[in-house]
Amino acid sequence: MPKPKRKFEKITFVASDMPEAVEARRRLVARYGEADPSEADAIVALGGDGHMLATLHRFMNDGIPIYGMNRGSVGFLMNDYSEDDLPSRLAAAQVSRIHPLAMLAYDKNGKAHKSLAINEVSLFRERHQAAKLKILVDGKVRMEELICDGILVATPAGSTAYNLSAHGPILPINAPLLALTPISPFRPRRWRGALLPNKVHITIHVLEPDKRPVSAVADHFETRAVTRVEVEKARNIELFMMFDADHSLDERVLAEQFRY
């Protein structure tokens, strides 16, 4: 017997500060009402990809499916905007389950900073001199010294974002992989990065941290002057993103690989 479709009668609407998103929220609330997030069957995020990431972070531990509608400038993670028959669209949507990355960054004073990243964890040089980094995977040194502007670890969901701009690979959304991608590598010049199983523990040591300071960023959370950064999949956190069946995230990721 087929599983009955879930009803979406209680909806919470959250909008970015863009005028188009604010107006869309007003119209949708007037039409469908609004539930408190603690009772919602779904969260509808109105804005662009940045707002979608902020909404995912806001409801990170609530287990509520999130459906984005594009009222911003970039909408890779968003569905097309329409005010009609929203509960039926939500009931017919496909759900993509994603896990964020857990970042543990140690600053020059030895203080540990924890954060989560849905797209990527990035390390950047802070001054004019290139960063020098040592890379370990599951405790084994894989690169003694990488001279670069930085490096990032991207999830499949984030592989089409900054990772793609840095010439990293696009990953299918359900691939059990992480992309380790250098940013403007100088030595070794021809190293293009690595694809890693998503079960690994990645440790990046900053060499010469006083002379070549480095920042670590998990999505929008930044830690300055880091000496060591550890990254792994947050296995205990699962996020639910909803997409229209005819334009799923899997299809978007696949289509992106054939753009030229």
Active site positions, annotated: 49
Of 258, 253, 254, 240, give the one whose Cα is nearest residue 94.
Answer: 240
Beta bridge partners of 194: 180
**Cα 67 to Cα 71: distance, rounded to the nearest angstrom:** 13
Q: What is the CA radius of gyration of the chain?
A: 20
Strands 11-15, 42-47: pairing is: parallel
Q: Euclidean distance between the first and final Cα of the chain, in Å?
A: 44
Q: Report the amino acid identity of residue 180.
A: L
